[in-house]
Amino acid sequence: MTGPIARDVDTLVTAMRALLCDDMFHLDPTVPPIPFNDKVYCSTRPLRIGYYETDGATMATPSMRRAVLQTKDLLERAGHELVPFTPPSVESALFELAMRGLSADGGSTFLDNFEGDGVDANLQTLVTTFRLPSGLKSLLSVLVRPLVSGGTGAAVAGGRSSIIYPLSPQFPRLSLVLQNTQAMR
């Protein structure tokens, strides 16, 4: 997560007031128009703050984990309630969101990048899949749907859903890397 860094809270507040204003929201329409809330900042009421130590895909370094836990302790001593939570799955975002983005137009924009060029072996399966006629893709979708549950890569095993990465034909080599990474945890 990136953001402003400062030596003290007052400087961060000044930066956030400058960034979270109507002018900035008009300059960048992708930023949700949520202005700085002076009422919350000036309030003495305890806050409920979520925190996590790992995102499930990467391990925090010992110093980063220590910084999170020290901050958690300081906030709790100041009277705030800290609630551990699990952030959304990075693997799910990779497979679900990236694939939806790539295939929103049936993959035609993606395929335009390969016109007249060779295709890297790592992308060959994906390119071949996008080049299939739409009728064949629809038929394959109907045939594969009973095997796949909960999105790309989730297969039903023994009546319960479990992630099996090799079922993702879009990223065959990446699937193996993710499977090996999962096994190391």
**C-beta neighbour count of 16 within 10 angstroms:** 16
Is 60 exceeded by the pLDDT of residue 183? no
Task: List the domain range (segments joined by +) for residue 148.
Answer: 90-184
- 152: three-class secondary structure by DSSP: coil
- Indicate whether 38 pLDDT > 70: yes
Whose CA is closest to 121, among 58, 184, 172? 172
* 38 shares a domain with 77: no
Higher pLDDT, 1 or 45: 45
Cα 92–Cα 130–Cα 112 angle in degrees, nearest 5: 105
Whether the per-residue pLDDT at 100 is higher than 60: the answer is: yes
DSSP three-state, residue 45:
coil
Full-model pTM: 0.46
Q: Are residues 31 and 52 both part of a single domain? A: no
157 in the same domain as 126: yes
Both tokens assigned to 133:
């006629």
Domain end call among 70, 87, 104: 87
Overall number of domains in the chain: 3
> Which band of pLDDT confidence, cut at 50, 70 and 90, is reported for residue 161?
very low
If asked whether residues 68 and 115 sit together in one domain, one would say no
CA atoms of 109 and 102, how far apart (whole Å)? 8
Residues 103, 149, single domain; the answer is yes
Reported confidence tier of residue 12, pLDDT bands at 50, 70, 90: very high
Q: Is 180 in the same domain as 153?
A: yes
Together in a domain, 79 and 148: no
